[in-house]
Amino acid sequence: MKKILVFFMLCATTMAFSQNNYIVKTEDGRRVLLKADFTWEYIDAVKKETTPTTHVKPKKNSCNLPLDFKEPKLNNKIQAQLKKGRATIKHAKKKVAKDYNCAVEDVTLITISEKKESAHYTFCANGTKVFYKRTGLNIIEKGKFF
């Protein structure tokens, strides 16, 4: 009886940890995100242009960065490992620029706390100070779940 109970406990924990999102490519080259809740969406799909409702463009330079500000140095080993999963700092900047409707050049990395498993980023996006986090290969705005 103990062996059966241990077997079912092992199966339950294995199924709980195997619920991940996957990125796959279709035959025509588009990328698709397969979610753990059995839904999917195109990653490279072109969306209709809408006016931003959640993010208001603030005054320029409200981050109060000095003119000679340089972005912090990153760990090259960690960035090389993240390159395979599209979670490098370049990908994070693209996501921030998309979320705040600005160019990638307008996004500046202010601070970083990075490990292989997770990271905390502070960006200045178009004059707004924003916080993002990375868990594994997923980059999301701090305080948001999805």
Query: Which ranges in 59-121 belong to alpha helices (H)?
Result: 76-83, 89-99
Residues 111 and 121: beta-carbon distance below 8 Å: yes
pTM of the model: 0.55
For the stretch 4-33, pLDDT in tens is 888 878 777 766 566 677 788 888 888 888
For the stretch 54-71, pLDDT in tens is 554 444 547 888 888 898
H or E, element range at 14: helix 2-17
Q: Which residues contact 124 (CB under 8 A, 6 or more apart)?
A: 63, 65, 107, 108, 110, 130
Give the residue from 102, 105, 108, 98 showing the smallest Cα distance to 129: 108
Q: Which two tokens stand for residue 112?
A: 């970083």
Question: So where are the chain's domains?
Answer: 20-46, 63-146
